[in-house]
Copies of this chain bind each other. A is one copy, B any other.
Amino acid sequence: MNKFAMYGKLTAHPGQRDALVQLMLEAADQLDAMEGCELYIINVSEEDPNVVWVTELWRDAEAHAASLKNEYVLALIQSCRPLIAGVEPVKLRPVGGKGL
């Protein structure tokens, strides 16, 4: 199992969460076609009105690393930056289960 998984916790500035979600959904449309991207699910927290959680699963670490060099993804990160107060990645190693 060489798959790469992470959760990305993005805390928006107050009032900016929905704008951030909108940008992320546009990113997801692009990632849909991206080699090696298996899951890129955007969730909002039920507990904190400023928090977005992204569930990512990639074929391997290389596919994830390559996505971060993609021109479109880099531009998207730039456009999200002013909306984001904090980023907290949770790095995972998937071991099994349904959906892998």
Q: Is A16 part of the contact surface with B, judged by Cβ < 8 Å?
A: no
Q: Are B94 and A43 in contact (CB under 8 A)?
A: yes
Q: Is A31 part of the contact surface with B, judged by Cβ < 8 Å?
A: yes
Q: Is A46 part of the contact surface with B, judged by Cβ < 8 Å?
A: yes
Q: Are B95 and A44 in contact (CB under 8 A)?
A: yes
Which of B28, B31, B95 is A42 in contact with, Cβ under 8 Å?
B95
Question: Within the complex, what minimum Cβ distance (angstroms) separates A76 from chain B?
Answer: 13
Show 16 residue pairs from A and B whose CB-CB distance is below 8 angstroms, ordered by the A residue: A5-B41, A5-B55, A7-B55, A25-B96, A28-B98, A38-B99, A39-B97, A40-B97, A41-B57, A42-B94, A43-B94, A45-B90, A45-B93, A46-B91, A46-B92, A53-B90
